Structure 1
């Protein structure tokens, strides 16, 4: 989506993507392409250069991504946006790079970027033309995907402009998903349909990310407007499939204070971190923001749980994200035009029961302790960001669950991360399929990012437990009791080994808590 062509639509598209409109949609399983298991990090030329893209710009940007430390911080994708091709396809029906902008062709450019240890992206649209009027890919999905694969393309941003011939978004984007899958090359698929067409219901099974709003602009009001529409999307985000509130405007019209807030919030949202500034000339302050590995670490947390707004006091807001190790990342946001004190508590973050908590300031890179309150004096249009550790929600960490009666461990058979895989006990072996991480939200997460789940949210004795995409529901919340039982919060029943069994492969279920040895578990 292009600001120059559709700025009038942006506000309308944000309105379309409201939580109310999404409430009835059923989350889809994530696209299992093996890509974007954490949100993608990279750069795109559009915000700073529009149609003025070229071979020289892309090469120099790849150089700058390495020399600036961005590559070392995890950025990988150097992405070309609209206006890269000629105005018509060639006689064979193929897209042709503009020979003035890309005199060496795309394959040579991709080779250069790959030589830097980076990846390269391309742009098209799910219509007959792109947003700037260049030929797009509707009805040419297989042809274009194979062409891009032959060039060595690693990433496709797929827009929503041009005549769609009456086809739905799901039809058009699914066609490209399938074409990429048979292209012979792994290509990350970034859907850019601006949050329309109920994309939350089919986006996770179709793309590695999908836009949730209209275009972002390099000003505070735009960033805040897009932020306000994000809470309704939280349940759709998961490893391999991410909500995308659009590219970063860090260093692009925002002050350094605003840029830090913007970066902090996009990190907590598990948004793809795609820089849009000129990396070749960025200031030292902008570089420091984009390469803050502590903030990036929140975004890249393997558990993949998206953060959300947990307190809204007008111009003061608290956004928090449960981390895979049981800690909580928190952003204290001040939207006002003057300095304000913004506060939260450990209990509000889901961290209870400790006398004190460790508080890591992710911008000052300092650590302190607090009794319960986390508070900061936050400048206008600014944010403070912390990682808070401690309390019953975070001291559990990552562990195996060993059945006291059987001596065997709660096991995901063969490490299968498919939704609905039933669990069993098996000889403890230290494998990742026997590792569970207790989060601040009360989840027990697998090493693959799935949650321990009571099948169908049922409450009856004998209901099997399984792995499923984490969704924040009560049937995925568990309490590790001091008496060794593990209770399902939604059902109020205990994690139980079927019929007191002790053999490898014995099923695990929920059952009314009775103090039996088959309901006792130790962590280790």
Structure 2
């Protein structure tokens, strides 16, 4: 186990000279989320060379390419499922004169990158859900993983979206399947020398935020934001936004994907389009436009190409925004840590039907109360320099998007004092449970990114990418958001099998106080109230599990007497139950009394609707014991400590 030295950082009273010389404050830029255009939302299966050529040309002529939209992605419908005798894909020459290489070559000739589509199973989505063309069988890649990936690479494609319709119907395991595809992609690259960006599209069904980082470059976190033939709504974008917030999974070039943009599609107002862009930007989501570029209005183009909004999304630190306040139900404040010192983006989201005054507090963002400069990203105007926070009026069902430049709050640096390149840091201390900013100082003298895993306590392991630093003695930092328990935590780094490792020298940990919460620890079990496997699905029953400090074990006890997990799910008495044995589940917060709880000095927690106690069923203490409501008995399985 590696030794460490804990050091206060630059904002503390410890002199700067006390920091080890190797600890860096120079941030390495990571690969930003993908930007471009995808065919499905506007064309469904009706794509051919003429459609792709038109959209490619317009991406350039509209100024979108110059604003950063560089991928042109063919979705379902490009292939009708035929294969040659050797198993290679047979292309329809009527749809694609010159073949698919000609398509990729044309896109490349415009200075852009090309994307293509497949399915992890035997059949693609167009077979099960035909839209503008008849169902075509055998449009998946199962049984041909490396062969098809080599084909895509030889054609010159740079990106592949891998859907899950066939995988779901066949009952394949998402994690096993997509990791096998990632391995096949590496093997194909070893043959062709050309690597594909991997977009995993299994809709969040296999909880990819627990395992996809470092295997896929992006992964869908929910079902489609819009189905073919539907009219887009604000509710659609909010649903996918909520389901896409998994901050510990998103870092160093790997991204949660809430799906393609609906901006510019018929049915949305300019205000709704701006809201949509703001939601995706604060979450650092891939920006893949789905509108018909050839017919878009000037207003739509200006929304899609707003450089300050794009800069928030594409920020080189590569982190996701997190909810830092909800003083009043459905008046939500999100903060995103940006590159640089004291830099934040803020989204003030009003989900109510009336205009409302909203405030962002600097302290919630991990800044000091000192004066900070505020700028409106949409209008490009400065809102002044203000101490403590900023207040403004936000229209109904809308948002205000800001950038803030202030002073970083203090943190603590833990220095590796051993020769281990991937050390273990013990005693990483947090004053409260919550999401923390962790800057990792490292050196990578190679010419390509190196990988190592990070794990906090008993939480899921995540792969971190470390870009080259120029030499083995030049140190830079990359950042992750990690969930820490109150008190001492252990942060482990480990080598990735077969990969060269970076030299990890130190970690700096800083709180984001607006995310702070408490763990509910059972008196009988000494285990924490837990949502199994970071599941976000409504009606998931709560349980007890070994305490790890994870986001699925951190609850905010609001002034409204709710116990909120993940920032948007309330602990809930199932179906307004008031009888013994009622399941305790998670559900979207509604303000109902079945989602309100009272803590008592004797350690019990009662549901406000029923008066029954939060109870570990059958007085069991093992991992996985489910939580229910039961008449209060004073037993230890009904007593909890909030820490």
TM-score (norm 1): 0.71
Measure how far apart 1:363 and its partner are: 0.6
Q: Aligned pair in 2 of structure 1 residues 392, 168: CA closer, same or farther (>3 Å)?
A: closer
Quote the residue 1:316 is aligned against. 331
Residue number in structure 1 paired with 2:367:
351
CA distance in 2, matches of 1:360, 1:277: 29
Matched, 1:59 2:73: no
Question: Against the structure 1 CA distance between its residues 190 and 466, is the aligned structure 2 distance closer, same or farther, given a 3 Å change threshold?
Answer: closer
SS of the equivalent of 1:200 reads helix
Residue 283 of structure 2 corresponds to residue 283 of structure 1: no
Partner residue in 1 for 2:185? 180
1:412 aligns with 2:428: no
User: CA-atom RMSD, angstroms?
Assistant: 3.4
- C-alpha change, 1:466 and 1:90, in structure 2 (3 Å) is closer
Q: How far 1:111 moved relative to its partner?
A: 0.7
Contact 1:204 1:237 in 2 (8 A): yes
Q: 1:448 to 1:228 in 2, by over 3 A?
A: closer
- Higher mean Cα deviation, 198-207 or 360-369? 198-207
User: Structure 1 297/92 Cα, relative in aligned 2: closer, same or farther at 3 Å?
Assistant: same
More helix by share: 1
Cα offset, 1:157, TM superposition:
0.4
SS at 1:259 equivalent: helix
Flag structure 2 segments of 5+ consecutive residues without an equivalent.
1-28, 128-135, 227-231, 416-439, 455-468, 502-506, 512-643
Other structure's SS at 1:112 match: helix
Q: Which residue of structure 1 lines up, in the alignment, with residue 21 of structure 2? A: none
2: CA distance, partners of 1:166 / 1:450: 33
1:48 and 1:270 map into 2 onto residues whose CA distance is 23
Match of 1:371 among 387, 396, 400: 387
Q: Is the 8 A contact 1:332 1:383 kept in 2?
A: yes
Match of 1:228 in 2: 242
The verdict on how the C-alpha distance between 1:411 and 1:381 changes in structure 2, with shifts beyond 3 A counting, is: closer
Q: Contact between 1:308 and 1:319, CA under 8 Å: does it hold in 2?
A: yes
Q: 1:123 to 1:339 in 2, by over 3 A?
A: same
Is contact 2:252–2:479 with CA below 8 Å preserved after alignment?
yes
Displacement of 1:415 in angstroms is: 4.8
> Which structure features the higher share of strand residues?
2
* Aligned pair partner of 2:350 in 334, 359, 374: 334
Shift of 1:194: 0.4
Deviation readout 1:326-348 (Å, 9 max, x if unpaired): 31100111222332222212122
**Number of residue equivalences:** 406
Paired residue secondary structure (2:319): coil
Query: When the two structures are superposed, what TM-score results if normalisation uses the length of structure 2?
Result: 0.58
Name whichever of 83-92 and 51-60 sits farther off: 83-92
Determine the structure 1 residue equivalent to 2:544: none
CA contact (8 A) 1:110 1:151 kept: yes
Deviations 1:6-37 (A, max 9, x none): xxxxxxxxxxxxxxxxxxxxxxxxxxxxx982
Identify the residue that residue 68 of structure 2 maps to in structure 1.
74
Shift of 1:98: 2.7
- Correspondence for 1:158: 162
2:198 corresponds to: 189
Conservation of the 8 A alpha-carbon contact between 1:208 and 1:242: yes
In 2 relative to 1, CA 478–329 (structure 1 residues): closer, same or farther, beyond 3 Å?
Answer: closer
- Other-structure match for 1:126: 120
